[in-house]
Structure 1
Amino acid sequence: MQNEINIPIILASVRKIGDAFLKQYKQNTIPQSMDELLKQLEDIDVLCLTSLKKDLTATFFHMPWHIGDEFDTESQKESTIKGDYWLCDAMDGAIQYLQHIPGWTINLAFIRDGKPLFSVIYDPLATEMFWAKEGAGAYMNGKPLMVSKKTDLGVMLSVFEYGHQDKSTNQLNKEIGMTVTRLLDNFGIVRNYGPHGLQLAYVGAGRIDLFIQEDIDTYNWIAGMLIAKESGAEILNADGIPWQWGSESLLVARKSITEKYLEIKSLK
Structure 2
Amino acid sequence: MQNEINIPIILDAVRKVGNVFLKDYKQNAIPQTMEELLKQLEDIDTICLTSLKDDLSAEFPNVLWHDGDEFDNNSQRSPDKTNEYWLCDAMDGAIQYVQHIAGWTINLVLVRQGKPFFSVIFDPLANEMFWAKDGHGAFMNDKPLQISNKTGLDMMLAVFEYGHHDKSTDKLSKKIGNTVAQLVQNFGIVRNYGPHGLQLAYVGAGRIDLFVQEDIDTHNWISGILIAKEAGAEILTTNGNPWKWGDESLLVAAKSTTEKYLKITK
TM-score, L = length of structure 1? 0.98
What SS class does the counterpart of residue 252 from structure 1 fall into? strand
Aligned to 2:175: 175
Structure 1 Cα separation of the partners of residues 81 and 35 of structure 2:
31
Cα deviation 1:92-122 (Å, max 9, x = unaligned):
0000000000000000000001100000000
What SS class does the counterpart of residue 248 from structure 2 fall into? coil
What SS class does the counterpart of residue 183 from structure 2 fall into? helix
- Paired residues of 1:93 and 1:103 also in contact (CA < 8 A): yes
- Paired residues of 1:3 and 1:60 also in contact (CA < 8 A): no
What SS class does the counterpart of residue 251 from structure 1 fall into? strand
Structure 2 residue 158 is matched with structure 1 residue 130? no
- Paired residues of 1:70 and 1:220 also in contact (CA < 8 A): yes
Deviation at 1:257, TM superposition (A): 0.2
Structure 1 Cα separation of the partners of residues 2 and 103 of structure 2:
35
Deviation at 1:82, TM superposition (A): 2.1
Aligned to 2:220: 220
Deviation at 1:174, TM superposition (A): 0.2
Aligned to 1:204: 204
Structure 2 Cα separation of the partners of residues 206 and 150 of structure 1:
9
Aligned to 1:160: 160
Aligned to 1:243: 243
Aligned to 1:43: 43
Structure 2 residue 133 is matched with structure 1 residue 142? no
What SS class does the counterpart of residue 42 from structure 2 fall into? helix
Aligned to 1:2: 2
Structure 2 Cα separation of the partners of residues 126 and 48 of structure 1:
19
Question: 2:214 is aligned with what amino acid?
Answer: E
Aligned to 2:265: 265
Deviation at 1:29, TM superposition (A): 1.1
Instruction: Map residues 88-127 of structure 1 onto 2, 5 A cutoff.
Output: 88-127=88-127
Cα deviation 1:113-160 (Å, max 9, x = unaligned):
110000000000000000000000000010000100000000100000
What SS class does the counterpart of residue 16 from structure 2 fall into? helix
Structure 1 Cα separation of the partners of residues 53 and 39 of structure 2:
21
Query: Please, what is the CA RMSD of the aligned residues?
Result: 0.8
Structure 1 Cα separation of the partners of residues 229 and 43 of structure 2:
32
Unaligned runs of 5+ in 2: none
Cα deviation 1:187-227 (Å, max 9, x = unaligned):
00000000000000000000000000001110000000000
Aligned to 2:19: 19
Unaligned runs of 5+ in 1: none
What SS class does the counterpart of residue 86 from structure 1 fall into? strand
Aligned to 2:65: 65
Deviation at 1:41, TM superposition (A): 0.5
Deviation at 1:47, TM superposition (A): 0.3
Question: 2:111 is aligned with what amino acid?
Answer: I
Structure 1 Cα separation of the partners of residues 222 and 45 of structure 2:
18
TM-score, L = length of structure 2? 0.99
Deviation at 1:52, TM superposition (A): 0.1
Structure 2 Cα separation of the partners of residues 183 and 261 of structure 1:
9
Question: 2:252 is aligned with what amino acid?
Answer: V
